Homo-oligomer: A and B are copies of this chain.
Amino acid sequence: MTTTSMKDVARAAGVSVGTVSNVLNRPEAVAEETRTRVQAAIAELGYVRNDSARQLRAGRSRTVAVVVLDVANPFFTDVVRGAEPLIESAGGVVTVCDSGEDVRRERRHLEILEEQRVLGLLITPVDDTSASWIERLSGHDIPLVLVDRGAGRHPHCSVAVDDVHGGRLAARHLADRGHARIAFVGGPVSIPQIADRLAGCREVCEERGLALEVFTTAGLNFAAGREAVEQMLGLEQRPTAMFCANDLVALGALQALTMHGVKVPQECAIIGYDDIDFAAAAAVPLSSIRQPRSQLGRTAAQLLFDEIGEGAGHTHRNVVFQPELIARASTAQEL
C-alpha cells in the first residue's frame, strides 16, 4: 500500500526532494555525506522511482517498441535480438508487440504505444492499410523505422531485404534443377514481402517459361503449409516443386508431403524463405533464402537512434540488404 515517494525519502534523510532527485540523477552534484545519507534512506524505505511521474515530466518514455508480424516466427525473434543490444546500451527499454498479421491488433498496439509516448518504433507493417496509422504516429513526432519493408515512397527510414530478388533466386534455383511446374505457397498477398517474393518468382517463371501455380494462404505458419499441400495433391497436374513464402510454411508443407508418402525432393522439391535455424534441422534439410536477420535488427535500431539524435534536420535512409540462396537436400534432386 504505502508506496513510498521521494517526499518520504526526503523526510527520512532530512533533506529536500530536490536533493533526493539530484542523488538519483546527478549524484556528482551532491556532497558525499548527504548522498550516502539519502542512499541509506532509499535502501531503508525500499524506495522505487515512479516511472510514470518521470515520464510525465520528461514528456517521452524510454521505451522502444518493436512491432512484428509473428513473435513465434524465429525470423522476427532474431531481428529483435539484433536490435536489443544497441537499444539497451543507449538506455532504452525494448518492448515487443505481436500484430499477428492482423491489422486490427496492429492498430490497437499503435494506439497504446502512442499513448505511452514511446521513444521510437521499429515496425514491420501488416500491409499497406497500415500506412495511415503509421503516418499518424510519425506526424506526432514518434520516430520510426520500417523493418523488412523497402520504404519505396514512404518518407521514413527503413531496412529491408530485396524480396523480389529473393523470389528470383528461389525460382531460378528450382528452374536450374529442371523443374518446369512450380507452386508458390504463401499469403495473404496483401503482405508486401509476400507480394514481392511472388513477383520475383513470377518474373523468372515467365522468363524461363515455367508453369506457376499460386496457392494463397491465410497466414504464414505450419498449418498454412499443410493445407496448401492437401490442395495441391488434389490436382491432376501436380507441380514438381514448391516455393514457400517462409520456412514455417515450408516445414508445414514438408510434414504434410511426408505424411502422404510423397518423397522430398525426389517427387516434390521444396524451398523456403528466411533460413531460420530449424530449416537446417528439418526432416529433409530445407533449402532456403537467407536474410541477414540480426543485422536487419541492428541496423534498424541504429537508424532509429540516428534519427532521434539528429532531430529535425534528419534525412531518411533506406538500407537494402541482399538475400542469399542456401541450397540443401530439399532441392537436391536433378529432374
Contacts and interface: CB of A to CB of B under 8 A. Distances in A.
A217 interface: no
Contact of A117 (B51, B71, B74, B282): B51
A140 B46 contact: yes
Contacts of A46: 136, 139-140
Nearest to A254: B281
A39 to B, nearest CB: 16
Contacts of A72: 74, 77-78, 81
Contacts of A49: 115
Interface string A1-17: 10100000000000000
Contact of A115 (B48, B278, B282): B48
A79 to B, nearest CB: 11
A81 B73 CA distance: 13
Contacts of A278: 251, 278, 281
Contacts of A53: 52, 56
Given A281-B252, A283-B285, A52 B56 contact: yes
A324 B1 CA distance: 42
12 contacts: A3-B141, A52-B53, A52-B56, A52-B117, A56-B56, A71-B71, A72-B74, A93-B112, A255-B281, A278-B281, A281-B282, A282-B282
Given A50-B115, A72-B78, A283-B285, 19 more contacts: A1-B141, A3-B140, A46-B136, A48-B114, A48-B140, A50-B56, A50-B117, A52-B116, A54-B115, A72-B74, A95-B95, A96-B96, A222-B281, A251-B281, A254-B281, A255-B281, A278-B281, A281-B283, A283-B284
Interface of A: 1, 3, 46, 48-56, 59, 61, 71-72, 74, 77-78, 80-81, 93, 95-96, 112, 114-117, 136, 139-141, 222, 251-252, 254-255, 277-278, 280-285
